Amino acid sequence: MRTLTPKELLAGIWVASGLALRGGGGEFVGSVLAAAFIASGFEIGLGGLVGLVYKVAADANRQDS
C-alpha cells in the first residue's frame, strides 16, 4: 500500500468537503464533515507554507565553502 502524495491528499479533501457542504451526509453530519475536511485542508496548507519559509531561510543562511 502506497502513501498519498500531498496533491492527492488535497484533492481528496477538496472533493470530500464539497460533498459534505452539499449535504452528502445529512444536515448535521454534513456540516461536521465539511468543517473537519476544510480545517484539515487549511492545516495542510499552513504546514506547506511553513515548510517553504523554512527552506528559504535555510537556503539563505547556508554557508558555501
pLDDT of residue 25: 55
Contact 16, 33 (CB under 8 A): yes
Is position 2 within any domain?
A: no
The boundaries of the domain holding residue 51 are 8-60
Is position 18 within any domain?
A: yes
Is position 1 within any domain?
A: no
pLDDT of residue 54: 87
Is position 42 within any domain?
A: yes
pLDDT of residue 14: 77
Q: Among 15, 16, 13, which residue's Cα sits nearest to residue 29?
A: 16
Is position 27 within any domain?
A: yes
Each residue of 4-61: pLDDT tens digit?
Answer: 777 877 777 777 777 766 765 566 776 777 777 778 777 878 888 888 888 888 888 8
Number of domains composing the chain: 1
Q: Among 33, 5, 13, 3, which residue's Cα sits nearest to residue 21?
A: 33
